[in-house]
Structure 1
Amino acid sequence: MAPTTCGSMTTSSTPCTAMAASAIARRSSARCVGSWPETAATDRPRVDEASYWIPRRVVHAGCLFLGVLLFTVAVGLGFWLRAMAGFLIVEASPLGPVDAIVVLGGGQPEGTREARAAEIYRRGLAPTVVTTGGPVLGEARATYADFSVQRLVRRGVPRESVVATNVGDSTVTDAQGARVLAERNGWRSLIVVTDSWHSRRARMAFDFVFAGSPIAIAHAPATSPRFAPDAWWLDEASALFVLSEYAKLAAFLIGYPPETYDSPG
Structure 2
Amino acid sequence: MRERVIKAVELFNKGYDNNIICSGGGVYNKYIEADIMDNFVESLGIPNSCLIKENKSRSTYQNIQNSIKIMEDKNWSSAMVVTSPWHLRRSNYFLSKFNITYQIEKSNYPRESFYLYIITIYMGNLYNDQN
TM-score normalised by length of structure 2:
0.81
Distance apart, 1:170 and its partner CA = 0.5
- SS of 1:235 mapped into structure 2: helix
Aligned residues: 118
Structure-2 separation of matches of 1:197 and 1:159: 29
Structure-2 separation of matches of 1:227 and 1:143: 22
Q: Which runs of 5+ in 1 are unaligned?
A: 1-106, 237-265
2:14 aligns with: 123
Structure-1 separation of matches of 2:45 and 2:73: 27
Structure-1 separation of matches of 2:104 and 2:7: 11
- What is the root-mean-square deviation of aligned Cα atoms in Å? 1.8
Distance apart, 1:137 and its partner CA = 4.2
Which structure shows the bigger proportion of residues in strand conformation?
Answer: 2
Structure-1 separation of matches of 2:43 and 2:21: 15
Q: C-alpha offsets along residues 150-200 of structure 1, whole Å, 9 cap, x if unaligned?
A: 111111211111000112100001110011111111001100001112222
Amino acid aligned to 1:179: I
Distance apart, 1:148 and its partner CA = 0.6
**Which one of the candidate residues 11, 30, 37 is aligned to 1:148?**
37
1:132 aligns with 2:23: yes
Structure-2 separation of matches of 1:120 and 1:186: 21
* Greater RCO (Cα-Cα under 8 Å, separation 6 or more): 2
1:158 aligns with 2:82: no
Structure-2 separation of matches of 1:235 and 1:204: 30
Amino acid aligned to 1:132: S
1:167 aligns with: 56
Structure-2 separation of matches of 1:148 and 1:235: 29
Query: Percent of pairs identical after alignment?
Result: 23
1:180 aligns with: 69
Structure-1 separation of matches of 2:103 and 2:74: 18
Q: C-alpha offsets along residues 23-53 of structure 1, whole Å, 9 cap, x if unaligned?
A: xxxxxxxxxxxxxxxxxxxxxxxxxxxxxxx
Contact 2:83–2:106 (CA under 8 A) maintained in structure 1: yes
- SS of 2:79 mapped into structure 1: strand
1:226 aligns with: 112
Amino acid aligned to 1:157: I
Runs of 4+ in 1 over 6 A off after TM superposition: none
How does 1:204-223 map onto structure 2 within 5 Å? Answer: 204-208=93-97, 210=98, 213=99, 215-223=100-108
TM-score normalised by length of structure 1:
0.42
When residues 235 and 198 of structure 1 are mapped into structure 2, their CA distance, relative to the original with a 3 A threshold, is farther
